[in-house]
């Protein structure tokens, strides 16, 4: 579960990096409609959960599985827990809400600056 959760986080963060770098290097695939829509939807869910004060269902499931395995569960969100462990820094939940929101605005800005493209339906 930790691997799946980490992969989703990497998709959200790495997706924006790929979009920006892809435009620098003229990678057309970074404007693929489904890639961009999935990326926008992923950050939209994260931002909505943060604003609504909802813990991510993956965090809840992972914490439950940890508890069933005899390990302590999470007291905070997945990101807060692992970021705190990686950086030895704890921040209040509102800091993460602001960070998620700013990141979400950056993703929306890429839609405006580098709009996704649908595949051409014409003859090739």
Decide if pLDDT at 83 tops 80. Answer: no
Instruction: Give residue 124's pLDDT.
Output: 46
> Considering the domain boundaries, does residue 31 fall inside one?
yes
CA distance 81 to 31: 33
> Considering the domain boundaries, does residue 109 fall inside one?
yes
pLDDT 10s digits, 36-74: 999 999 999 999 999 999 988 988 888 888 889 888 887
Report the domain count for the chain. Answer: 1
> Considering the domain boundaries, does residue 41 fall inside one?
yes
Instruction: Give residue 45's pLDDT.
Output: 96
Decide if pLDDT at 6 tops 90. Answer: no
What is the residue range of 7's domain?
Answer: 2-113
> Considering the domain boundaries, does residue 122 fall inside one?
no
Instruction: Give residue 117's pLDDT.
Output: 87
Q: CB 79: neighbour CB atoms within 10 A?
A: 17
Q: How confident is the prediction for the chain on average, in pLDDT? A: 86
> Considering the domain boundaries, does residue 118 fall inside one?
no
> Considering the domain boundaries, does residue 28 fall inside one?
yes
> Considering the domain boundaries, does residue 61 fall inside one?
yes
Query: What is the value of pTM for the model shown?
Result: 0.79
């Amino acid at each position: 579960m930790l691997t799946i959760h980490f992969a989703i986080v990497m998709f959200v963060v790495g997706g924006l990096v790929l979009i920006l770098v892809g435009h620098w290097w003229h990678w057309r695939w970074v404007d693929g409609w489904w890639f961009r829509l999935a990326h926008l939807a992923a950050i939209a869910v994260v931002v909505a959960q943060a604003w609504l004060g909802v813990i991510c269902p993956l965090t809840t499931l992972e914490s439950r599985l940890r508890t069933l395995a005899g390990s302590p569960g999470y007291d905070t969100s997945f990101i807060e827990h692992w970021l705190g462990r990686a950086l030895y820094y704890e921040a209040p939940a509102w800091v993460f809400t602001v960070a998620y929101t700013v990141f979400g605005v950056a993703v929306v800005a890429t839609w405006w600056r580098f709009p996704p493209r649908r595949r051409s339906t014409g003859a090739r």
